[in-house]
Structure 1
Amino acid sequence: MLNYAPRALYIHIPFCTNKCHYCDFTSYVLKGQPVDEYLDALEWEMAMTAAAIPPDVIHTVFVGGGTPTVLNPGQMERFLASVKRHFPIHADAEFTMEANPGTTDPDKLAAMRAGGVNRISFGVQSFDNELLERIGRIHNVEDVYRSIDNARSAGFNNLSIDLMFGLPGQTVELLSDSVNRALQLKLPHYSLYGLKVEENTLFHALYERNELPLPPEDDELAMYMLLIGKLTEAGFRHYEISNFAKQGFESRHNTTYWRNEPYYGLGAGAHGYARGERHVNIKGIQPYIDAASSRLPRLETSLVSEEEAMEDFMMVGLRMLEGVKAGDFAGQFAGRTMDEVFGPALRRLLQDGLLERTELPEGDFRYRLSAKGIPLGNEVFGVFISE
């Protein structure tokens, strides 16, 4: 397994203007929260983390949430300065921050640029105002256009938006319109996610009461295939099951996860993976602050066995459309081979037409999802857990 210091850094800002109906992330409505005390605690965790696992050079930073852009410009400046104090950021690093449309005014964007942020991922979800209201979003379509314009005026050109499909009351036609409007923005990256009804959300409560009008499975599949068709026709590379990019604009940070490489994870509820160990941080704001004043604020920590790491390698690696390479597997796992460890599963998936094997130069080869396997990805990934 990989034992070098992580080159990727995830930081969680858990505050939002409101809680969306589908969201089960570690996030809390901003009003009344001890934001400055949280930023203090976050810096304490940065210092302790850098002491416990001294960083080399960080190549990717991802600030997620929550909605990190609810920080005011002064808080944003302070937060980004603390990141640079504790972690050496490569001059060519990808530095992403998630944002909600309507929360990125020019002053805040200037603070983000000055602090090193060079990529913004906007949680747009839909270009239909009624649908946005139905899922609990507080922005509208005009906020999207204004936010993209503000970001470009501030000098950001590496921009991405998230869209969702399979939403309550959404039709294939509504989704098609949203995708057309999204493409008119001429952005270099789009992430397109199907709704998952998670426990402890309003949508789950409605689902349990049979009050959530979800599209039929056939329509949801039609939505996904529509997305693939429209984005590829527009010249985007479908490089991961849910992600499309122009050449050179693929998410380098998320690729760290998909390659099962180590990463630092800081902040309330954050996950991290380093030195063969995974951790989850304490989720509550005040409990996180209290813990970080004296120790690393861990909720739980677990050693990752080689067997588990190999399963993870296959499951997350096959999310990428380029698939998993035999040489990379052998490099992570001391010369062991995919065929040796997962032979029966791989043969079955090849026989069912869900995977394909491709020969590469210098004797290497890879497995990747076939065109038939892409919409059935979860079935493919599940095979490796059972193995």
Structure 2
Amino acid sequence: MAGAYIHIPFCEHICYYCDFNKVFIEGQPVDDYVAMLLKEMRMVMAEHPDEKIETVYVGGGTPTTLTPKQLATLCQGVHDILHFDSGEFTFEANPNDLLTTDKLQVLHDYGVNRLSIGVQSFNDEVLKRIGRIHRAKDVYVAIANARKVGFDNLSIDLIFRLPDQSRDDFLNSLQNALDLDLPHYSTYSLILERKTIFYNLMRQGKLRLPTQDIEADMYQDAIDLMEAHGRHQYEISNFAKDGYQCQHNLLYWENDKYFGFGAGAFGYLGRDRYHNYGPIKQYLTPLHTEHLPVLAHHLVPVSEQIEEEMFLGLRTMRGVSEKRFYERYHLTVDAVYGETVPELESQGLLQRNDGFIRLTNKGKFLGNEVFQQFLLDEPLI
């Protein structure tokens, strides 16, 4: 069993905070990209004929910049090549691509059953400041159109700690989001990534961000408000009604297998982590000559697998299963982290019960500091 991530790198506009692999769509060889993407999928799956794909996630970039015809070609290819008959099939979307139902109808007709819509804020001034081209009114039209076509598994993303954003402003966005009564929400704190407009502004001293205390208040507001509305936190940044947790992302957090298709995509199969070429031309060229577009393979050492088991598992509210840890690595957690876990427990950052190790509420706010404690000084044999 495995998941499949498919990357569509095209955007109509580049947001100021985004560091994902993306390009302006104008002038790009989009039809050729879709054709070569399907070719890559055929070549890879020929090497894994017995692998069952149980989740598919199409991300970007902005997958919904594709035309209805291109979307249909891609979705049909997913079913035919990946032998994907049922399971969670997610598309990322921007609100401004869903102002009519044509693309939504194609996605629904071809079996897409989950949409993740990038909203980020319900404040038009904030949206302008972060480089988004949709406005709050577009979100309502997009959600209404999605429901009209037949989608019910809908999620939206919100970002907090945005430039000049107040706590009240984020609370207002949270309330507006919850008023839509969706089954799933994701909310992320702004991270300043290199090679983004915001990173450059920060380096120039021109980016006014909320303080760490206000950021913490915003995160606690999200946790409290989501829970009050029956959207339970199941991962550091994700909240859902029961039964609507994102199954594809759970594959990542459970350190399971997934294929990566498309420019800049990562895959993880057994111990093999591989990375495709990012630039469009470098991705397409090998495929035109019957070669896979893989830039590099990395054979993940056991030590690194164990570190990731802890980092990723602790992101979830379920936590790290001690039984699963032992079955995977033939070591107990105590054999590897016999001093680390008790120390973090004593600091009130971890709790250990029912065979699981989890972050406490305090630990959620200091997640990165906690995760660093699970880096191993020496590799395990």
Q: TM-score, normalised by structure 2?
A: 0.97
Superposition pairs of residues 248-259 of structure 1, within 5 angstroms: 248-259=243-254
**How much identity, in percent, do the aligned residues show?**
45
The answer (yes or no) to whether the contact 2:303–2:376 under 8 Å persists in 1 is no
Task: Show the counterpart of 1:12.
Answer: 7
Q: Distance in 2 between matches of 1:55 and 1:178?
A: 45
Q: Distance in 2 between matches of 1:187 and 1:277?
A: 37
The SS at the match of 1:373 is helix
Q: TM-score, normalised by structure 1?
A: 0.95
Task: Show the counterpart of 1:379.
Answer: 369
Q: Distance in 2 between matches of 1:375 and 1:149?
A: 35
What whole-Å deviation, never above 9, does each CA across 1:216-238 have from its counterpart, x for those lacking one? 11111111111111111111111
The SS at the match of 1:384 is coil
The Cα shift of 1:275 comes to 2.4
The Cα shift of 1:54 comes to 2.6
Supply the AA of the counterpart residue of 1:70.
T
The Cα shift of 1:55 comes to 4.4
Task: Show the counterpart of 1:85.
Answer: 80
Supply the AA of the counterpart residue of 1:369.
L
Shift of the 194–220 alpha-carbon distance from structure 1 to 2, 3 Å rule, reads same
Q: Runs (4+) of structure 1 moved beyond 6 Å?
A: none
The Cα shift of 1:84 comes to 1.3
Of residues 84, 89, 97, the one that matches 2:91 is 97
Supply the AA of the counterpart residue of 2:146.
A
Of residues 301, 304, 329, the one that matches 1:305 is 301
Q: Distance in 2 between matches of 1:219 and 1:270?
A: 34
The answer (yes or no) to whether the contact 2:79–2:85 under 8 Å persists in 1 is no
Of residues 318, 332, 335, the one that matches 2:314 is 318
Supply the AA of the counterpart residue of 1:173.
D
The answer (yes or no) to whether the contact 1:123–1:161 under 8 Å persists in 2 is yes
Of residues 34, 58, 62, the one that matches 1:67 is 62
Q: Residue 195 in 1 paired to residue 190 in 2? A: yes
The answer (yes or no) to whether the contact 2:260–2:266 under 8 Å persists in 1 is yes
Unaligned runs of 5+ in 1: 1-5, 360-364
Q: Distance in 1 between matches of 2:132 and 2:69?
A: 26
Shift of the 268–372 alpha-carbon distance from structure 1 to 2, 3 Å rule, reads same
Q: Distance in 2 between matches of 1:235 and 1:107?
A: 32
Q: Distance in 2 between matches of 1:280 and 1:199?
A: 19
Q: Distance in 2 between matches of 1:132 and 1:33?
A: 26
Of residues 101, 105, 113, the one that matches 1:106 is 101
The SS at the match of 2:31 is helix
The SS at the match of 1:310 is helix
Please, which moves more after superposition, 294-303 or 163-172?
Answer: 294-303
Task: Show the counterpart of 2:25.
Answer: 30
Which structure exhibits the higher relative contact order, with contacts defined as CA atoms closer than 8 Å and separated by 6 or more residues? Answer: 1
Task: Show the counterpart of 1:295.
Answer: 291
Supply the AA of the counterpart residue of 1:371.
N
The answer (yes or no) to whether the contact 1:16–1:29 under 8 Å persists in 2 is yes
What whole-Å deviation, never above 9, does each CA across 1:270-296 have from its counterpart, x for those lacking one? 010002110111001111111222211
Q: Distance in 1 between matches of 2:298 and 2:210?
A: 39
Superposition pairs of residues 148-297 of structure 1, within 5 angstroms: 148-293=143-288, 294-297=290-293
The Cα shift of 1:53 comes to 2.4
Supply the AA of the counterpart residue of 2:305.
A
The Cα shift of 1:265 comes to 0.5
Task: Show the counterpart of 1:367.
Answer: 357
Task: Show the counterpart of 1:3.
Answer: none
Q: Distance in 2 between matches of 1:58 and 1:117?
A: 15
Q: Distance in 1 between matches of 2:368 and 2:50?
A: 34
Q: Distance in 2 between matches of 1:231 and 1:120?
A: 19
The answer (yes or no) to whether the contact 1:55–1:88 under 8 Å persists in 2 is no
The SS at the match of 1:51 is helix
